[in-house]
Amino acid sequence: MAYPGSFQSTDAPANLTELGASNFGADQRALYLKLFSGEMFKGFQQQTIARDLVMKRTLRNGKSMQFIYTGRTGAEYHTPGNSILGNSNQAPPVAEKTITVDDLLISSAFVYELDEVLAHYDLRSEISRKIGYALAEKYDRLIFRSITNGARNASPVSATDYKEPGGTQVRVGTTANFSDAYDADALVNAFFDAAAALDEKGVSQDGRVAVLTPRQYYALIQNVTGNSLINRDVTGTALQSGKGIMSIAGIDIYKSTNIPFFSNYGTKFGTTGGTTDTGVAAPGNLGDFIDNAMEDADKVASGSYGEQNEYGLGSEFSKSCGLIFQREAAGCVEAIGPQVQVTSGDTSILYQGDVIVGRLAMGADYLNPAACVELFAGAASGDAAFA
C-alpha cells in the first residue's frame, strides 16, 4: 500500500531479483552471512601452512586424544626343540602421548549497521579475512612451537634395550654469530645434516618439509649459482617470485613468519651483528605485529584460560632459526574447526549491528621426536628442552 502523496510502494515488484535471498526465501540477507563465512575460511586457509603438514585429528566427546607408540623388537635364531613363546623382554614396548585441546580461541569484531550503509566497500568481507588471518597465525605458531619441543626431547618409548630415537638439533654455521642463520651455504649444509639424521633414525622420506623465514629462503634464492639449488624447470619471473627452490636433500621448503626465530616470530632485526642479533637492518615502519618478542605460554595455573599443552616460553627459543620435520613430527587435535558465528534477531536490533566471531578449539604437541629437527645458530649447543 502506498502512502498518499508518495510514489513509493510497499509491495516489491514481482520480477525483482533479491540477491541476498536463498531460493526466493523470505530472509533477504541469508546469503550475505554465508558469504562472510566463506571469506573467513578463505582467509584461514590462505594463511595457515602447518595444518596440512602434520597429523590432524578431529576430537569428539572428550578433552584430549591418545596417540599410541609401538617400539621396535628384535630378531633371533630359533634353537631346535625350543618353544616359541614371544620375546623374553615382552617386546615391542608400547607408550602413549596425549594431546589436550586448548581453550576456545576466538577473534571477533562488531560491525555497526550504519557503517555498512555508508562504506563504499564490502566491510564484512574485509573483516572476515582478518579474523581468518588471526586464527591461522596462532594455529601455525602453536604447531611450530610443538615441533621445536619435539626436537629437544627423547622418544616416549624408552624401555631398557628398546629405546627409540629422539629429536635432533642441527647447528647452522660454525661461529657464535646469529647471522649464520642467513648464510646460504651454511643452511644447505644443515639441510643435508638433517636429512642424514632423519635417515639414520629411520624416519620416512615421505612428507619431509622445512620451514624457514622469508629472508632465509631468499638468501638461498640469491645464491643459486653457487649452491646449485635452482630448479632447472623454473626460471625468470617464477624464480624471482620465490619459487625457484623446490627442495634440498628431498626436503620441500616453505617460508613462514610464524616459526620461532631467536625468540621472535619469523623476524629478528638489529645492526650490531655478532652474538647479539642477526645483523639485518629493519626495513622501517614495521607496525605493531612484526619483530615482536614471542608471547609466553598462557598456561600459568590449573583452571586458567589459555594453552593446555606445553608450548614453551619465548626465552626458550633464543637460538632457534628454522624447522625441518616429517609429518609424524606433531599432531593437531581439533574439537571445533574454524567456524564463524554472527548475531541476529533481537541482538542485532538492540545494538544496531552484528558481532562477528571466528572461533577454533585445537591443541598441538609433538608425536614422534625422531621426525623433528630444530635448526639453531649461535653458541655450539642449542636451547634446552622446555622446563
pLDDT, tens digit (0-9, with 9 covering 90-100), for 219-240? 888 876 555 565 545 555 555 5
CATH of 30-71+91-298+313-376, one of 3.40.1350, 3.90.1690, 3.40.50, 2.40.128: 3.90.1690
Q: Which residue has the cell 552484528?
A: 354
Residue 300 pLDDT exceeds 50: no
pLDDT at 6 over 50: no
CB atoms within 10 A of CB 121: 6
Tens digits of per-residue pLDDT, 316-338? 999 999 999 999 999 999 999 88
Whole-number pLDDT of residue 178: 94
pLDDT tens by residue, 166-216: 999 999 999 999 999 999 999 999 999 999 999 999 999 999 999 999 999
pLDDT per residue as tens digits for the range 62-81: 899 998 888 888 888 888 99
Rounded CA-CA distance 380/214 in Å is 24
Cis ω before 260 (30° cut-off from 0)? no
Q: Is the pLDDT of residue 302 over 50?
A: no
Task: Choose among 177, 172, 238, 245: nearest CA to 214.
Answer: 245
| Chain center to CA of 294 | 15
Per-residue pLDDT, 358: 92
> What CA–CA distance (Å, rounded) separates 387 from 384?
8
**Contact (Cβ atoms closer than 8 angstroms) between residue 208 and residue 192:** no
d(CA 42, CA 126): 11
What are 277-283's contacts with CB under 8 Å, separation 24+? 277/178, 278/178, 278/179, 278/181, 278/182, 279/177, 279/178, 279/179, 280/179, 280/182, 280/215
Instruction: State pLDDT tens for residues 141-167.
Output: 999 999 999 999 999 998 888 899 999
> What pLDDT, on the 0 to 100 scale, is given for residue 115?
83
pLDDT beyond 70 at 121: no
Grid coordinates given for 202: 629411520
C-alpha angle 172-173-175 in degrees, rounded to nearest 5: 125
Can you give the pLDDT at residue 30? 65
CB atoms < 10 A from the CB of 216, how many? 24
